[in-house]
């Protein structure tokens, strides 16, 4: 069928493109120091780098199946095509020495044809929503195709420096209300994974 | 009434990487970014009916069929050596044309990167973000590029720091 950009929907197909939207939420966790962040293809083997899931919120799901929480931070994905958008929200430390340091952040996915989990995308992310040092963004975005009941995706994080001049330890999803004397629980922003099922 | 069968519509998306510049001249105004598929990504997306073609350099232009697209690009910009007073920055924007060698028109928000040791908002302007986004709608084949539109005080030679931040994301809403 030739695609017609000016095609107007009728009552029969007025629902627009079919897609589902989920928001995956994560637990409070220390962002660990590890010597490596996997390889260019393989995800890290350190379990401390796995972001563990607290809950999954369904915003819209016209499909029959849903995401489920697996073990060790796995987000089980029914067979289908997905767009993933992860945001790393963290408390960096206790001092103002916070502009320089970035984090490693990435999303892995189980590849059936390889029978193993591989990177879908990884990159450095900044603490501040500002261009500093070499890091620009706080998000990792990628595409994934789940092909079996064992398909899953998983979010990884770490810091690349063993010492931490910003003080204390960086953490995911720390309740920062006392740090800021504010009623806002997460002034640092929360770590979230947006999952869109496209087909 | 004429019967019109139900059309199953899906969102289509694809993403590729932006080639990391190896020479500072690649940040000169007018330079067109090149795209590539980093095989370790494993997947590109479900938007498949596009071509990567050459305008001035290999794989620097998307040839997309008629449709409505949202396009977003981040250009990787090298950091200078730790320099607290560094205020140089690079800006880019999305351009489109109805023919490969035709006249390209800029649209959408500008992307900007100011790699430096400390946050510094010198050069901030309305409509400038860390990525460039544009909506392109065409009833015929359309050609899309990302071009450098400004380079200010960005005079240092490139450091060897390697990052993989460059990315282009294209959505089509059927």
Structural domains of chain A, with CATH: 26-197 (2.60.120)
Of A78-82, A97-101, A193-197, minimum mean pLDDT range: A97-101
Q: Round to whole Å and give the CA distance between A68 and A170.
A: 28
- Specify whether the CB–CB gap between B108 and B132 falls below 8 A: yes
Pairing between strand A20-26 and A171-172?
A: unpaired
Q: Are the CB atoms for B96 and B134 separated by under 8 Å?
A: yes
CATH number (2.60.120.40, 1.20.58.220, 2.60.120.1440, 3.90.850.10) of B11-173 reads 2.60.120.40
pTM of the model: 0.89
Distance between CA atoms of residues A63 and A31, nearest Å: 35
Across the interface, of A18, A81, A137, the residue whose CB is closest to B46 is A81
Contact B118 A111 (CB under 8 A): no
pLDDT single digits (tens) B83-112: 666 677 889 999 999 999 999 999 999 988
The ranges assigned to domains in chain B are 11-173
| ipTM greater than cut 0.85 | yes
Residues in chain A: 199
Q: What does the mean pLDDT of chain B come to?
A: 85
Q: How far apart are CA B132 and CA B107, in angstroms?
A: 9
- For residue A177, the Cα-to-chain-centroid distance in whole angstroms is 23
* Interface contact A165, partner B, CB < 8 A: no
User: Would the CA dihedral through B57, B60, B62, B68 be positive or negative?
Assistant: negative
Does residue B54 contact residue B40 with C-beta atoms inside 8 Å?
Answer: no
Within the 134-163 window of chain B, which residues sit less than 8 Å (CB to CB) from chain A? 137-139, 161, 163
**Are the Cβ atoms of B118 and A100 closer than 8 angstroms?**
yes
Which pLDDT value is given to residue A147? 96
Half-sphere exposure of B97 (CA within 13 A, CB side): 12
C-alpha angle B2-B5-B7 in degrees, rounded to nearest 5: 135
pLDDT at B60: 97
């Amino acid at each position: 069928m030739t695609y017609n950009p000016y095609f107007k929907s009728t009552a029969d197909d007025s629902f627009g493109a079919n897609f589902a939207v989920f928001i995956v939420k994560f637990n409070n966790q220390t962002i660990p120091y590890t010597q490596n962040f996997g390889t260019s293809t393989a995800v890290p083997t350190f379990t401390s780098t796995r972001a563990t899931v607290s809950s999954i919120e369904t915003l819209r799901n016209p499909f029959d199946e849903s995401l489920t929480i697996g073990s060790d931070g796995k987000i089980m994905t029914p067979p289908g095509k997905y767009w993933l958008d992860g945001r790393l929200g963290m408390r960096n430390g206790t001092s103002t020495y916070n502009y320089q340091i970035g984090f490693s952040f990435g999303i892995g996915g189980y590849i059936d044809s390889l029978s193993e989990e591989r990177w879908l995308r990884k990159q450095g992310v900044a603490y501040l929503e500002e261009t500093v040092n070499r890091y620009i963004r706080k998000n990792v975005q990628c595409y994934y195709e789940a092909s079996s009941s064992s398909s899953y995706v998983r979010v990884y994080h770490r810091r690349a420096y063993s010492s931490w001049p910003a003080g204390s330890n960086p953490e995911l999803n720390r309740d920062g209300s006392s740090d800021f004397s504010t009623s806002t629980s997460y002034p640092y922003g929360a770590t979230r994974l947006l999952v869109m099922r496209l087909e | 009434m004429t019967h019109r069968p139900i059309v199953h519509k899906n969102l289509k998306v694809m993403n590729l990487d932006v080639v990391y510049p190896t020479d500072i001249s690649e940040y000169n105004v007018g330079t067109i970014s090149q795209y590539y598929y980093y095989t370790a990504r494993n997947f590109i997306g479900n938007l498949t009916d596009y071509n990567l073609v050459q305008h001035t350099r290999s794989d620097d232009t998307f040839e997309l069929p008629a449709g409505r697209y949202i396009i977003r690009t981040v250009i990787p910009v090298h950091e200078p050596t730790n320099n607290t007073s560094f205020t140089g920055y690079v800006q880019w924007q999305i351009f489109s044309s109805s023919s490969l060698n035709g006249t390209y028109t800029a649209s959408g928000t500008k992307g900007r990167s100011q790699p430096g040791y400390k946050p510094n908002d010198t050069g901030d302007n309305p409509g400038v973000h860390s990525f460039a986004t544009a909506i392109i709608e065409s009833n015929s084949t359309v050609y899309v590029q990302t071009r450098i539109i400004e380079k200010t005080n960005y005079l240092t030679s490139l450091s060897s720091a390697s990052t993989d931040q460059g990315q282009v994301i294209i959505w089509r809403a059927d």
